[in-house]
Amino acid sequence: DAMVIQNPRYQVTQFGKPVTLSCSQTLNHNVMYWYQQKSSQAPKLLFHYYDKDFNNEADTPDNFQSRRPNTSFCFLDIRSPGLGDAAMYLCATSGTPGGYTNEKLFFGSGTQLSVL
């Protein structure tokens, strides 16, 4: 059973056209993450949420925004995608309901973004 679900699996957008990637989870985890992974590179953390507290990595471009309307859903908005934003975007969750523990991250299957 899928626990961290990312849709769509593949997303194509045009240069400069806003795009939103979605992630949902059935684990009731309080922490959600967005990672960017370019070809043949390690995943790079963009931001994460502790519940509704948003935490941005220092080097995440302003072009990237995120929303978490409730525990189950988290969105990644790219306001003006550039060619350099083409990558795999991985969503992950961790934690136990109501608390923060050092638990493993559960990853979704990712959304591969292409920018034309």
- Minimum CB separation of residue 16 from another protein in Å reads 26
DSSP line for 54-79 = EEE-TT--TTEEEE-SSSSEEEEEES
Question: Is position 102 an interface residue for another protein (rule: CB under 8 A)?
Answer: yes
Window 28-67: contact mask with another protein (x via CB under 8 A): ---x-x---x--xxxxxx--x-------------------
Q: Which of 29, 27, 26 is nearest to 100 (CA)?
A: 29
- Number of residues assigned to the chain: 116
Q: Which residues bind another protein (CB under 8 A)?
A: 31, 33, 37, 40-45, 48, 88, 90, 92, 94-95, 100, 102-105, 107, 109-110, 112
